[in-house]
Amino acid sequence: ATVRAVSKRKIQATRAALTLTPSAVQKIKQLLKDKPEHVGVKVGVRTRGCNGLSYTLEYTKSKGDSDEEVIQDGVRVFIEKKAQLTLLGTEMDYVEDKLSSEFVFNNPNIKGTCGCGESFNI
């Protein structure tokens, strides 16, 4: 997943901690289609990379006790407790180009990213 700092963007009040673009919704539906035992994907953060934190994505079979659940257009995304504050106001997108395809987190809370865009700091 790639991280992008979003500048000059107002954080708008929203019910969801994370919003998904139509492209991200479509890709998650496609990924889960072949995995009927999984109910959604879980987003987390881990300490790694040259700038501090990076996002993790994994399939999940159930909601954890402290996970926040975001349901959008029939897709369920669970946010680990450690990632909840770093994701507030973030848009999750899925981007494809000639050389790569990946989920991109457009996060207004990020203060800096590494050169490759894989890790960030808040």
pLDDT at 5: 65
DSSP characters over the chain: -EEEE--S-PPPP-SSSEEE-HHHHHHHHHHHHT-TT--EEEEEEEE-SSSSEEEEEEEESS--TT-EEEEETTEEEEE-GGGHHHHTTEEEEEEE-SS-EEEEEEETT--EE-TTSS-EE-
What lies within 8 Å, CB to CB, of 36 at 6+ separation is none
pLDDT of residue 28: 92
Class of domain 18-115: mainly beta
Query: 0.85 exceeded by the pTM?
Result: no
8-30 tens-digit pLDDT: 555 555 456 788 999 999 999 99
Query: Range with the lowest mean pLDDT among 26-35, 37-46, 58-67, 84-93?
Result: 84-93
Residue 41 has a pLDDT of 93
Domain edges within the chain = 18-115
pLDDT reported for residue 8: 57
Pairing mode, strands 75-79 and 68-72: antiparallel
Q: Out of 32-36, 45-49, 106-110, give the one with best mean pLDDT.
A: 32-36
Give the list of residues 6+ apart from residue 34 with CB closer than 8 angstroms, or none.
none
Higher pLDDT pick, 113 / 94: 94
